[in-house]
Amino acid sequence: MNLLEKAFLDSLVTKRWFLHKNRRIKKVVVVHTFDLSEKYALWILELCLDGEENVLYSYPVVKGSASIDLMENPLHFSLFLKTLFQKKCMETDGAFLKAHIESSDFSEALFENGEGQNKEQSNSSIVFPGRCFFKWYRFLNAGVHPEIEAGLFLLKQGFRETSKILAYISYEVGGNSYAVGVVQSYLKTEWTAWDYFGKEQSLELAFLLGKQLASLHSALATMQGSFLDFENERLLSHLNLLKLELATSEKKLAGRSLKAAQELQENFPVLEERVHALLKGPSLSKVSRIHGDLHLGQILFDGQKFLFIDFEGEPVRPLPERREKRPVLIDVAGMIRSFRYASVVFGWKSSSVLEKAFLKGYGGDLSGLSRYVFQKALYEARYELKSRPDWFYIPAEDLLTNTRS
């Protein structure tokens, strides 16, 4: 690896959207360059990882800039995207970059006065206030993208409590298609549900949120998807991987998180007993296509109603897995866990009254919910260990409560 490659990789691994930080990168290659103009290009990067795995990333480039990543050059947002969509279809070395227009509401004139989004994200996003929202999919997966698929499906179903898919960009090579970016309608809102409930713990709105989630699940009920019933395997996998990851985690933890990790290791046999008891019981509720990564940060509030966004599921999972039918209670459990996170972060005494109001609004058969809440906490513990070790204590202390009950 030469010095230029190393400098580029050193920069790459610092990006929030780079999902392979814990892997050793042996080599990086620009497999395709789409030259949009003298100023702009889109690179498709292939990273060769340890374990002989190769992964693809998209990288929008501003040529000649001190920092070539488009997202660090906001003055170029508008012209870059206008240039990209004006091309409509480009070909280089047997690979294609294509623009797909899905709505008559789309126009290149929407790309004015763009602002980069600074939230923690696994992708890169640009908002054009009052006009549209553009999301780059950085880590590329072959196949139908669930966010685009769900957005188009919900529009046909008449479900209006989400953004509208206006257009998207695909990279196509060797018989495979990869979603690279998507243009969505602008949603005029002042808060995420996380911010709103952090400000005001409204039981009425928690009830409304539950009711709207039930409506979303009703709209998704006829959406196509395979059902493979891997929930027990997922539960056991999270348990076993958490045990391995805890064994090597102490160096990255401190304070409350370190204490929780030590107690969790001491009590892990009890946690294993809890999981094996759950494995013997029923694992299924009603199954359907679901959001798949639902929490208060994936929901907006416009002052009257909630709006659901980011239907891509967990970005590290393969696309076919994110398009499976799964128990609807997984989404419900994600919301319960999110209320519990909010309780800690905002210093509430408890989130239980909001949870009850939310579940009352959702209605339906909730038997088996506690299993999915527990499964989500295991997933969160693993996520926080890797990405936000200072927050590890939040799911870890809830898991410890399970060992004492």
Distance CA(351)–CA(373), nearest Å, equals 14
Integer Cα distance of 348 and 227 in angstroms: 38
Greatest extent of the chain over all pairs of C-alpha atoms, in Å: 64
Give just the sign of the alpha carbon dihedral 116, 150, 221, 218.
Answer: positive
Determine contact, residues 354/197, Cβ cutoff 8 Å. yes
Output the pLDDT for position 8.
73
Contact 368, 237 (CB under 8 A): no
Q: What is the pLDDT of residue 76?
A: 96
CA proximity to 398, closest of 339, 354, 356: 339
Rounded Cα–Cα distance for residues 9 and 300 (Å): 35
Per-residue model confidence as pLDDT tens digits over 314-346: 877 888 899 999 999 999 999 999 999 999 999
Provide CB contacts within 8 A for 238, sequence distance 6+: 375, 378, 379, 382
Q: Return the pLDDT at 350.
A: 95
Low-confidence ranges of the chain (pLDDT < 50): 1, 3
Kindly tell me the burial class for residue 95, based on how many C-beta atoms sit within 10 Å of its own C-beta (0-12, 13-18, 19 or more): middle
Pairwise CA distance, residues 403 & 306, whole Å = 35
pLDDT in tens, 197-230: 999 999 999 999 999 999 999 999 999 999 988 8
State the pLDDT at residue 345.
96
Strands (E) in 50-120, as ranges, are 53-62, 89-92, 95-101, 115-116
Select the CATH number that applies to the domain covering 191-404 from these four: 3.10.450.50, 3.80.10.10, 3.90.1200.10, 1.20.120.80. Answer: 3.90.1200.10
Per the DSSP assignment, residues forming a β-bridge with 42 are 34, 60
Q: Parse the chain into domains and list their residue ranges.
A: 3-185, 191-404
DSSP code per residue over 292-319: SS--GGGEEE-SS-EEE--TT--TTS-H
* pTM score of the predicted model: 0.90
CA dihedral (247, 253, 256, 259) positive or negative: positive
Sign of dihedral through CA atoms 174, 175, 178, 180?
positive
What is the C-alpha separation between 8 and 29, in angstroms, rounded?
Answer: 11
